[in-house]
Structure 1
Amino acid sequence: MSISPHNLSFLFFQLLVLQLSSTISAIRKDIGFQEKLFCKTTVQGRYLLSDDNGYVCDALSLDPQSRCCPGKGEKFSCHGCNLLSQCCNSYEFCVSCCVNPAQTRKEQVLKVKIAKPETAGTYQSVFDFCAGRCRHNSEGVVHENAYLSDFHHCFALPSNSSGASDSLAATRLAGINVIIGRQGESCDSVCKSNGQSCVLNKLLVLNQCDIIRKYMNCKGACLASMGADQPAEVVDDAPSHMNPGACLYTRSQSMLSCDGSHRHTKRLCPCA
């Protein structure tokens, strides 16, 4: 039985369509399987890098294609970090610790402005916030030429981000009785007179302008200072050079103390 040229052309066309369809399907599968993950990384360190997956590695072990650290070692490592102050002695481990969802809430940090002007933008991701926040900033410097501590890489929310930090502060102060002491009185004395004890690690939570303003008048301003009596408010009849009416917070977190006092200030105390 002979096949006409017309039928032969039609069969050839059908075979060609089937072959092209299977080829296209195979190409699509290959593309899907070969899709790669690309990481954002820090670039500040001389020897170490941190990626947005929360790993820290040296520059030589970074995957040249994906720009990701090997998935080895501890993820979200807080090596060399003080979780109370949320400050670290290493930039890369600060970023690694910060990107941990247990440490940093995405819905809060994405509201934080990158700079102070009202026109400043906000961070696009938790990693962008952590990479920017962990760099040296004015809150960790004294006299603009020295660090307050070796732990000067901090990822805590900035003190001027009241909207983002209110709920966090309320959570960290749960069960704490915040009391304003009398002039020249220490927190140990304030809490003892109320049948309680001063909770030292909660002084760090109170040591923020937004929190101090909630409890004190701060008629002058909220100023960075140095002293074991802080956070506190300067009394109205203090000498003019002490900024009467101003509230004070300390940039040197190691100075926070329950027994500190000053004859010209009233302390803000956490008691329990």
Structure 2
Amino acid sequence: MVVNNDIWINSKLVPDEYEIKHTLLRQPFEWQPKVSEVQLGEGNSTKKQICRNSVQGKSLIVDERGYVCNRTSVDARGCCHVKRGSRLTSKHRCDTCSKNACCVVYEYCVACCLKPDKRPLLQKILTNAREGLDIALGSVSDHFELCLAKCRTSSSSVQHENSYRNAFAKHCFGENPPELQALVT
């Protein structure tokens, strides 16, 4: 049986949308940080655990455990150095975030998003992203990556293509974009 090569070249047996969606749905998702508090503790382990962090902050960093610290407080492994009683390093800090999950500071947005009680909201967002073929969110593999991606400003953070919907609280991890603010002219 001879099959015309043009049929195979010009047609796909499986639509692209199907492949993208099912590839994203098959990816395992990790809700726990890749490095735990126990692994970072002083122990007999000779293997050094590396912490992922937000990297880009001018003065603040958030690590994958949800700690926010000054850049100068990041240790050699990339983690925020946690010192008992220190007010400089805090975990899951949401004090620049509003009830609609929009925050003034990117690092606090990520830290707040990493709070365990935000998981149901994030599961809903992740499911909607994967079903809607949102490549940016649907392809994240863990809680930290999801929060980094959600808190970045995006087209949903702006109005009229050139100004933020809310000039102060523009980093959001919730379902809705920042509240629309009146333009000042």
Shared fold per TM-score greater than 0.5: yes
- Equivalent residue for 1:142, pick from 159, 163, 179: 159
TM-aligned CA deviation for residue 135 of structure 1 = 0.6
Question: What residue identity is the alignment partner of 1:70?
Answer: H
Task: Give a deviation string over 1:232-251, Cα, whole Å, max 9, x none.
Answer: xxxxxxxxxxxxxxxxxx95
Give the direction of change, closer, same or farther, for the CA distance of 1:75–1:40 in structure 2 (3 Å limit).
same
- Equivalent residue for 1:47, pick from 59, 66, 81: 59
- Equivalent residue for 1:56, pick from 53, 59, 68: 68
TM-aligned CA deviation for residue 109 of structure 1 = 4.9
8 A contact 1:112–1:122 mirrored in 2: no
TM-aligned CA deviation for residue 33 of structure 1 = 1.9
- Cα distance in structure 2, aligned partners of 1:87 and 1:140: 10
Question: What residue identity is the alignment partner of 1:136?
Answer: T
TM-aligned CA deviation for residue 47 of structure 1 = 1.2
- Cα distance in structure 2, aligned partners of 1:47 and 1:131: 17
Between the two proteins, the alignment pairs up a number of residues equal to: 132
Partner of 2:143: 126
3-state SS of 1:103 partner: helix
Q: Whose radius of gyration is greater, 1 or 2?
A: 1
Higher-strand-fraction structure: 1
3-state SS of 1:35 partner: coil
Matched, 1:68 2:68: no
Partner of 1:79: 95
Partner of 2:32: none
Higher RCO (CA < 8 A, seq sep 6+)? 2
8 A contact 2:69–2:90 mirrored in 1: no
- Where does structure 1 lack aligned partners over 5 or more consecutive residues? 1-30, 160-249, 256-272
Give the direction of change, closer, same or farther, for the CA distance of 1:34–1:122 in structure 2 (3 Å limit).
same
Scaled by the length of structure 1, the TM-score of the pair is 0.43
TM-aligned CA deviation for residue 144 of structure 1 = 1.2
- Equivalent residue for 1:152, pick from 150, 162, 170: 170
Give the direction of change, closer, same or farther, for the CA distance of 1:112–1:38 in structure 2 (3 Å limit).
farther
TM-aligned CA deviation for residue 32 of structure 1 = 5.8
- Where does structure 2 lack aligned partners over 5 or more consecutive residues? 1-42, 84-88
3-state SS of 1:113 partner: helix
8 A contact 1:47–1:59 mirrored in 2: yes
- Cα distance in structure 2, aligned partners of 1:117 and 1:158: 18
3-state SS of 1:111 partner: helix
Matched, 1:95 2:113: no
CA RMSD between the two structures? 2.9
Give the direction of change, closer, same or farther, for the CA distance of 1:119–1:75 in structure 2 (3 Å limit).
closer
3-state SS of 1:56 partner: strand
- Cα distance in structure 2, aligned partners of 1:122 and 1:113: 9
